[in-house]
Amino acid sequence: MKRLLSGAWEVICDFLYDIKCKLYHKIVKHDPNKPMRMQTQKRKDMVFYIVMMALPLLQFFIMWFSTNINHILLAFKEYDSDMNYTWTLNNFKTVFDNFLNNQELQLSLRNSVLFYLLVEIISLPTSLFIAFYFYKKWSHADKLRLIIVIPAMISSVVTVTCFYYLMDRGYPLLVKLLTGKEVLGLLVNNRTSMPMIIAYNIFYSLAGSFLFYSSAMSDVDNGISDAAKIDGATVLQEFTKITLPMIFPLLSTFIVAGAAGILIGDYGMYAFAQIGGNAMPTMGYYFTLYVTQDGAERRFPYFAALGLVLTVLTCIIVFSLRAIMRKFDPFEEKE
């Protein structure tokens, strides 16, 4: 009886399926002997693409274009004493003249580039080795992870304040307690202020980058590492020959994205200056310092022009660096 009912159910299902197919071909007028047209599928793909791209494009229009259009136009304006403006290119002439003659602007630009290079040269390999250490789950990895990730969990103003009191208040007290000598704080002292600021930026940058590197390393197939160990590969060879090439796309993305701030980095200088530290001029500090001064509204067109010039220079640097990174990408198809 059970076998009979099962056979009857199969006959009914086949009958209903035949009816469904006939109705479908009748509605869409599809000839089964001809290949299916791709226009319908392409139309569906285009609709899906438009829907998926609508929100990012809307966000770009609102958050970038509508926000920065006044900034772009402001660079071509010049205000008089009555705040009436005329269209001009004098702001760009002033910018290029200051690049050649203004020592403060030159020093700020040089410090921004120098800090970026020093921080990247030290923090990039350090972040990779720390991420590899956590990826291998060596001893005390969890404790070290918590210590390094703390700066990313709290405000930068808080970390700058803590660092300032440790270096400028705690260090002199510790030296006096141990040796009885009076010494200056490490941030107040001109000889040690720059190394301390670089050390702070290195430590602060480690908190964000190593998490992404560690997450990317966790996706590396363990079978590849095990095979390398069987072939006699050392830990350093495993890192350089297997792990690093496997996460190279993420690594190149971080390097290229980080280069976007090479000419506008603040490096915590404004926060150091506000709490009494010996702040060194950088481009980010240069903008913040002069834009927030009283009566700076008349100089806004100059800073708008300066921002556009720095944006163009940054684009040249970023796209050039991107081309260089693609040359070394092991996953990039070589011509």
Please give the average per-residue pLDDT across 240-268, as a whole number. 86
* Per-residue model confidence (pLDDT) at position 314: 92
* Per-residue model confidence (pLDDT) at position 92: 92
Please give the average per-residue pLDDT across 262-270, as a whole number. 83
CA–CA dist 182, 61 (Å, integer): 58
Count Cα neighbours of 79 within 13 Å in the Cβ-side half-sphere: 14
Residue with the two structure tokens 């160990």: 229
Q: Is the model's pLDDT at 63 over the cut of 50?
A: yes
Question: What confidence tier does 96 reach under pLDDT thresholds 50, 70, 90?
Answer: very high
* Per-residue model confidence (pLDDT) at position 28: 47
pLDDT in tens, 233-252: 888 888 888 888 888 888 88
CA–CA dist 233, 235 (Å, integer): 7
The phi, psi pair for 280, rounded to 5°, reads -100, 140
* Per-residue model confidence (pLDDT) at position 272: 80
* Per-residue model confidence (pLDDT) at position 47: 78
This prediction's pTM: 0.72
The SS3 call for residue 87 is strand
The phi, psi pair for 78, rounded to 5°, reads -135, 125
- Please give the share of the chain, as a percent, with pLDDT higher than 70: 84
Please give the average per-residue pLDDT across 318-332, as a whole number. 85
CA–CA dist 127, 258 (Å, integer): 14
First-residue to last-residue Cα distance in the chain: 69
* Per-residue model confidence (pLDDT) at position 4: 46
CA–CA dist 12, 21 (Å, integer): 14
12 or 46: which carries more pLDDT confidence?
A: 46
Find the range with the poorest average confidence among 25-34, 100-109, 219-228, 289-298: 25-34
- 194 contacts 114 by C-beta, under 8 angstroms: no
33 or 211: which carries more pLDDT confidence?
A: 211
The phi, psi pair for 86, rounded to 5°, reads -130, 150
The SS3 call for residue 186 is coil
- Residue 126 burial (C-beta neighbours within 10 Å; 0-12, 13-18, 19+): middle
* Per-residue model confidence (pLDDT) at position 180: 85
pLDDT in tens, 131-173: 888 888 787 777 777 777 777 677 777 888 888 888 888 889 9
* Per-residue model confidence (pLDDT) at position 328: 84
